[in-house]
């Protein structure tokens, strides 16, 4: 692999649209390799929407490839299951719907999913705060809402923003999330894949002080990751904030359309969430009662109905959620964004070295780089979108061919999680670089 080099700054300039987890990890990885990069973020500052996000072994591999500081930042803010006996457990899956009064605050245990890291949850904002420390001054540009990208006679790409400002780069990488403008520019605004689609699932999110959770649910349930299964609904609970807080995500499914596709969240009340889980087991009812009075209800959108036919157009490409926005039912979306960053960074480092050698033109090598990236990432990332949708239905005993057959559900979940967790991200990046080398030979 190509080592970082100050010479790489002279090779080309990369523009990253979007400063979420995908954009900032890619920027750090490119800076670490000496590549000239700028981030254009439409918000007034870096920020992540949502609370807890989990990273599994594939994601931590990718962090280490991107830059040491990313993994160190993750380690600083990550929260594991609080019981040592649950150290390797990703989730205990339990029956949240039926309840046997003789069991007290214990739900029927169904099965356990484990990996070498176990549950590793971070608060999105806290993780991003650590990443921001790794971005030098002058790299990030805020309040930059992209309108169009055009190519100049010189070959440079000119970005025009909503505020009237402009910038140029040799290549543009869209890390601009589920509502990606770059996706629209690549596919065309009329392409159905240019917009995310509602999955008919929505979620109430909340944070509960762990002391209150322990009083109501017992220590084991409050401080370790649980997935509470049931008909047409499911609840995730896991520790964040170094065990001081229990994160709650309560999912529901119905056939109604989402009222406003422009806004993926709507204000709601605890009373509404309580009503959703009427008739459920004692613990799930208690969890709803512990939530704060005012809640946000989150629509679950993805790109599953209309998968992208391509991730690129010339020297413009999408990465992260812009390419493969997924539902959260695998807990792998953010990790796959970092996988993208690792592969893209290794490709661009190799490309920069080739441009600096004078043996290939930068526009040619950048187009080939994005083609190699798509080849390396498209199949795996699009599989995740579909598998995650299936998971959401498996948890809710509504997946066709599975129903509430716990043995079949367990088998499918084990097999799909193995695909996510047991991957060699470095080998994936090396194979992508080998592909790029062939393309520009």
Catalytic positions, please?
205
Using CA of residue 206, residue 207, residue 209, residue 215, what is the dihedral sign?
A: positive
Q: Mapping DSSP to helix (H, G, I), strand (E, B) and coil, where does residue 334 land?
A: helix
With H, G, I as helix, E, B as strand and everything else as coil, classify residue 381.
helix
> How far is it, in rounded angstroms, from Cα 103 to Cα 433?
56
> Which residues, other chains included, contact 271 with Cβ-Cβ below 8 Å and sequence gap of 6+?
none
Q: Which two tokens stand for residue 315?
A: 């020297």
SS3 94: strand
d(CA 142, CA 125): 17
Residue with tokens 């990369």: 14
């Amino acid at each position: 692999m190509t080592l970082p080099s100050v010479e790489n700054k002279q090779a080309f300039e990369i523009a990253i649209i979007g400063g979420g987890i995908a954009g900032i990890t890619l920027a750090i990885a490119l800076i670490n390799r000496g590549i000239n990069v700028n981030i254009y973020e439409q918000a007034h500052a870096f920020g992540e929407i949502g609370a807890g996000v989990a990273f599994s072994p594939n994601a931590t591999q990718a962090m280490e490839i991107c830059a040491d500081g990313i993994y160190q930042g993750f380690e600083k803010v990550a929260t594991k299951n609080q019981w040592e006996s649950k150290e390797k457990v990703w989730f205990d899956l339990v029956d949240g719907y039926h309840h046997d009064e003789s069991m007290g605050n214990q739900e029927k245990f169904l099965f356990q999913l484990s990996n070498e890291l176990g549950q590793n949850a971070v608060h999105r904002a806290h993780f991003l705060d650590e990443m921001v420390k790794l971005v030098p001054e002058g790299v990030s540009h805020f309040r930059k809402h992209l309108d169009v990208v055009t190519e100049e006679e010189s070959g440079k790409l000119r970005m025009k923003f909503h505020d009237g400002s402009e910038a140029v780069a040799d290549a543009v990488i869209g890390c601009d999330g589920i509502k990606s403008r770059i996706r629209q520019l690549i596919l065309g605004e009329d392409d159905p894949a240019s917009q995310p689609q509602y999955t008919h699932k929505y979620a109430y999110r909340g944070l509960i002080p762990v002391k209150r959770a322990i009083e109501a649910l017992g220590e084991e349930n409050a401080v370790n990751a649980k997935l509470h299964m049931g008909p047409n609904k499911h609840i995730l609970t896991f520790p964040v904030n170094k065990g001081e807080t229990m994160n709650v995500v309560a999912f529901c499914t119905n056939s109604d359309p989402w009222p406003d596709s422009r806004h993926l969240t709507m204000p709601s009340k605890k009373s509404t969430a309580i009503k959703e889980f009427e008739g459920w087991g004692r613990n799930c009812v208690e969890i709803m009662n512990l939530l704060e009075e005012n809640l946000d209800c989150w629509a679950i959108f993805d790109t599953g109905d209309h998968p992208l036919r391509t991730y690129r157009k010339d020297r413009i490409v999408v990465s992260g959620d812009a390419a493969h926005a997924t539902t959260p039912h695998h807990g792998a979306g953010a990790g796959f964004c970092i996988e993208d960053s690792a592969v893209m960074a290794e490709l661009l480092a190799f490309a920069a070295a080739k441009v600096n050698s004078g043996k290939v033109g930068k526009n040619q090598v950048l187009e080939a780089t994005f083609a190699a990236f798509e080849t390396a990432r498209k199949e795996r990332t699009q599989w995740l979108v579909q598998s995650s949708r299936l998971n959401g239905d498996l948890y809710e005993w509504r997946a066709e061919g599975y129903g509430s057959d716990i043995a079949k559900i367990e088998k499918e979940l084990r097999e799909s999680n193995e695909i996510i967790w047991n991957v060699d991200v470095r080998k994936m990046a090396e194979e992508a670089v080998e592909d790029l080398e062939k393309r520009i030979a």
